[in-house]
Amino acid sequence: MRHNSAGRRLGRTTSHRIAMFRNMVTSFLEHEKITTTDAKAKELRSIAERMITLGKKGDLHATRQAAAYIRDKKVVTKLFTTIAPRYADRPGGYTRIIKLGIRPGDTAPVSVIELVEAEMKPKKVSNKPAPVKVAKAAPVVEETPAAETVEAAPATETVEETTEA
């Protein structure tokens, strides 16, 4: 029984699963967006957010902890210099998972996991009035005078009444 056991096994051994997620976190932080299955994306989210939180701490111990998990030293540098400062004021929720549908080969549910943009720029509201759109007039078509004189039906009709008794 798997009572109180956190995390998904994903049909892999422990060593394979750890290696896979180390590679996925490294690629995710390098490219800031990857496409994977839904279950892997949900597990990757918790690991990636933990790494970004380490990056926000910024001390030597946090750097060494991140370097022990992330495989590429350039990605560790990127995490501490560019990614973590973007989320300095954000208390969590650094990633977003967008479901894409199913993969045609094996019908696995696929999604994109990406970093949330730190600075959400509000739409600019201008004080200018909205431009007035002038409807274009239809081009005037001149008719020939002969067409106007010919009428298809008489204007008045007379009704005859007959009374027979």
159 pLDDT higher than 70: no
List the domain range (segments joined by +) for residue 92.
14-115
The predicted pLDDT at position 121 comes to 55
pLDDT at position 65: 97
- pTM to 2 decimals? 0.69
Residue listed under structure tokens 């800031």: 32
Q: Counting every residue, how long is the chain? A: 165
Whether 164 is covered by a domain: the verdict is no
Distance CA 141, CA 117 (A): 56
Asked whether residue 147 is assigned to any structural domain, the reply reads no
Q: Is residue 124 part of a domain?
A: no
* Strand-strand pairing, 109-115 and 95-102: antiparallel
For 37-67, what is each residue's pLDDT tens digit? 999 999 999 999 999 999 999 999 999 999 9
Q: Nearest Cα to 109, choosing from 97, 94, 96, 126?
A: 97
Mean pLDDT lowest among 4-13, 53-62, 107-116: 4-13
Q: Which of 34-38, 51-55, 120-124 has the lowest mean pLDDT?
A: 120-124
pLDDT in tens, 72-93: 999 999 999 999 999 999 999 9
Distance CA 73, CA 7 (A): 27
Is 87 part of any domain? Answer: yes
What is the CATH number for 35?
Answer: 3.90.1030.10
Mean confidence (pLDDT) of the chain: 86
- Phi first, then psi, for residue 109 (nearest 5°) are -70, 125
Tell me how many domains the chain contains: 1
